[in-house]
Amino acid sequence: MAQFLDALNAQDAITATALLCQLPADATLLTDQVLRGSPATPPLFTDIHVDPQYLDQSSKGTSHIVQASYSVNGQTVDSAGVVTQWDGSSWKVCFGAVPVLLDHAPDFPVTVNGVSTDTPPSMLTLFPGVYTIDSGNPLVKLTGGAVTFTVTEPGPTAPSIGLSDFAMTDSGLAAVRAAVEAKLTSCMTMWASGQSIGGGDGCPYDPFKVPGQTDQTWRYATSATLDDVPLTLEAFVATWQADDGVPIAMTATIGGTAYTKTLEVTQVRVDLTDPDNLAVTID
C-alpha cells in the first residue's frame, strides 16, 4: 500500500498499475498525464502510516485488509481498510482503480485533469488523487464551472460527482452563427444556380424567387438572431427549435429592388462533434 501511494506521489502510473490486483476494464485515465495534470501540488499523499503486511503468506490469492492512514491534499484519511492480495510473490492493492460515478451522464466529452474522455462518460476510473472535470468541447461549457474533487482512498466505489448542465460558450455561439450563415449562403448559391434544394442536403426548401430575374443572390440577414429561440444540447448536437419557427431572414437586391424573405424554418441543428467542421442542417 505504501508503495502504491509512493507511486502516485511520483505520478508514476505504470508502477501504480503494476501494483493493482487486476486491471480495470477501462484504464484510459490511469496515466502519468492525468496524474501530472492534478490541480494539487505534489506530493499529494503525506504522513503515510501502513500496518505491517503479512509477508509470510505462501498461498496465492490470500487476502488481507491493511489499515492505513495518511493525508491526501491536506485531507486526513484515518484507518482506511484497504484490501490487498498476495499473488505468490508480493502484495497487490485491490480496488486501487476506483470507479467514480457521475450523477448524470453528460452529453459531451469531458476533460479530467486536462485529458479528454473523447466520448461522454457515465463513469470515470481513477487512482486516488485530486481531479478537475471540465468540458471537453471548446464550444460548450459547464454552467456551474469546472468541478474539482478528491478520490481519497482505494475502494469498490467512490462518491458520485455532480456535474452541472452544458451551455454554449460565447465563442461557441459565434462559431455556430458563422456556420449557419455559411450554410445558408451555400444553400442560396445552390438555389440561385437552378438547383432544387431542401429535404436531403441540410438546406431549407426553396424560400423565394423573383419572377423574371436571373441574378438572385440571397444573403443571410445579419440582423437575424437565434438568441431568442429555445436551445437544447444533447448528444453532440445543438438544436434551436420553436413551434412558431426560427426567425431566419434572407435579403437580396434584385433588379434594383431590395427584398427580404423570412424562411419557413422550424429548427436549426448543428453537430458540434468536430468544433473545426460544424455540420449544419436547416429544415
DSSP letters along 172-216, please? HHHHHHHHHHHHHHHHHHHHHTT----SSSS--------TT-S--
Q: Which one has a higher pLDDT value, 71 or 266?
A: 71
For 182, phi then psi, to 5°, come to -65, -40
DSSP conformational letter for 20: B
CA–CA gap between residue 210 and residue 271 (Å, rounded):
33
Q: Which one has a higher pLDDT value, 77 or 261?
A: 77
Q: Residue 80 — very low, low, confident or very high, per pLDDT cuts 50/70/90?
A: low
| 13 and 148 belong to one structural domain | yes
Query: Residue 207 pLDDT > 70, yes or no?
Result: no
| 197 and 154 belong to one structural domain | no
| 21 and 79 belong to one structural domain | yes
Query: Residue 58 pLDDT > 60, yes or no?
Result: no
User: For residue 57, what pLDDT is reported?
Assistant: 55
Helix, strand, coil percent content, the chain, rounded in steps of 5? 15, 35, 50
| 54 and 122 belong to one structural domain | yes
Q: How far apart are the first and last CA of the chain?
A: 59
Question: Could you give the strand order of the β-sheet that contains 219-220, starting from the edge strand earlier in sequence?
Answer: 219-220, 249-254, 257-262
CA–CA gap between residue 50 and residue 165 (Å, rounded):
41
Mean pLDDT rounded to a whole number for the chain: 84
Which of 201-205, 213-217, 221-225, 265-269 is least confident?
221-225
Q: DSSP assignment of 51-104, as one string? A: PPP-TT--STT-EEEEEEEEEETTEEEEEEEEEEEE-SSSEEETT-SEEEEESS
| 189 and 126 belong to one structural domain | no
Query: Residue 97 pLDDT > 90, yes or no?
Result: yes
CA–CA gap between residue 68 and residue 1 (Å, rounded):
8
User: pLDDT above 70 covers what percent of the chain?
Assistant: 86
Query: How many degrees, rounded to 5, is the angle at CA 276 between CA 274 and CA 281?
Result: 65
Burial class (CB in 10 A: 0-12, 13-18, 19+), 206: middle
Burial class (CB in 10 A: 0-12, 13-18, 19+), 223: exposed
Residue where one domain finishes, among candidates 144, 168, 192: 168
For 3, phi then psi, to 5°, come to -65, -35
Query: Residue 55 pLDDT > 60, yes or no?
Result: no
Q: Residue 22 — very low, low, confident or very high, per pLDDT cuts 50/70/90?
A: confident
Residue where one domain finishes, among candidates 149, 168, 187: 168
| 30 and 88 belong to one structural domain | yes
| 52 and 115 belong to one structural domain | yes
Q: What is the mean pLDDT of residues 132-160?
A: 91
Name the grid cell of 176.
455556430
Query: Residue 266 pLDDT > 90, yes or no?
Result: no
Residue where one domain finishes, among candidates 107, 134, 168: 168
User: For residue 233, what pLDDT is reported?
Assistant: 87
State the total domains in the chain.
2
In the chain, the largest separation of any two C-alpha atoms, in whole Å, equals 97
| 36 and 143 belong to one structural domain | yes
User: For residue 225, what pLDDT is reported?
Assistant: 64
User: For residue 283, what pLDDT is reported?
Assistant: 79
| 148 and 15 belong to one structural domain | yes
| 178 and 153 belong to one structural domain | no
Q: Residue 118 — very low, low, confident or very high, per pLDDT cuts 50/70/90?
A: confident
Instruction: Indicate the pTM of the whole model.
Output: 0.81
User: pLDDT above 90 covers what percent of the chain?
Assistant: 34
User: For residue 54, what pLDDT is reported?
Assistant: 55
| 130 and 10 belong to one structural domain | yes
Task: Provide the domain limits for residue 224.
Answer: 170-282
| 163 and 174 belong to one structural domain | no
